[in-house]
Structure 1
């Protein structure tokens, strides 16, 4: 990746400019473009399921009064078993539900390290500048950056499962403003996805699903450092590496 930005002299500044100036190609994707992006994610091994979509007035298509995560949640309670990478099924969903967002279930094939946007941009710049292999990264216009990694949630011993509730559940994510580790029992919106509001906010790829999934531990230290600086705290590496196998 570093070759894309030339030699070491001036590399950090060029990476920084690229991260802040690049506009996603899939924002507001419709029709064939939307379907192609979803199939690309599924082709990379990310299991997908239909999700709610925005409704007028900052409401959610689920019509739940006071929905805590409007347009950000699955439409079925069976989303974990429903999630699939099957091309034909995803094509049917995309064509029959043209407004639907999609979630990807974590803890099966991949996890997601979900961080505040500014901390994530700083961390991504450092990771790329250091030559660390970074996988797919999505940006959410509600102020988060999502790093897609291999999962740490499939140990051979069932007693070693790390449920996402020990970090944060999707419906309580706002209570965890720092780093969130989405693993077993969680999900995130997968691009392209629309967020509530009239300002065209979305979830879009910064680095697409064609990038191989890295081990989360290769990213964790830099991400926790960036999140600690963002929050004005000292990083706590001793308690940072949560879903580990013993």
Structure 2
């Protein structure tokens, strides 16, 4: 599932003054259009619900849901659509999960070390694209068949972790761009999950961003390429109270809320 990377040193830090925190109006209106051709992307500042555990609550009054692609049924997606909601499909693309129905299809050669704190997941060797592409394409096809409106691919920053493989930043850029193309080939917008050090390079390839705890770790400045392009940043904090980050999040035009770490039903929106 989700995890927080250990950060040894911050590359960029938010300044304490209002001028540095403010994001200027979008400068590239063409980049706000979905590369997928789907006709929809989440709007900057839109409210959202992110639920990956527990019984799915279909009653939250927000325009965007982000839910598990395998556990959520086509009927649930259709019900959310009937309420006027758009629905994002959560899929782990950089990790092997031993609880998924397709887990036996992953060859042993692509399986790396267990993920820190998540013993039922192992990192994948993202360099072995010929092995991984058909498996991930099938997952994206499932999202499309169920009627999802977009994809949130998770664990796309393995190169910064102890995966068991000598992954480079270049390996990660290549893999992430392939993932974006895989979604766009299916007409689905796609979000960049975390991977803050590569945001500037990857912003043109992704339609929105998903971030965990950039306020807690003073990393939100690194999301500026998405914000300046008018693209949504769907953001959660786990430990900070809303009064500690919501004013800044609204200033940056991020879609922010506090959630429990297990990403259950509860939410405290900004």
Same fold (TM over 0.5): no
Output the TM-score relative to the length of structure 1: 0.26
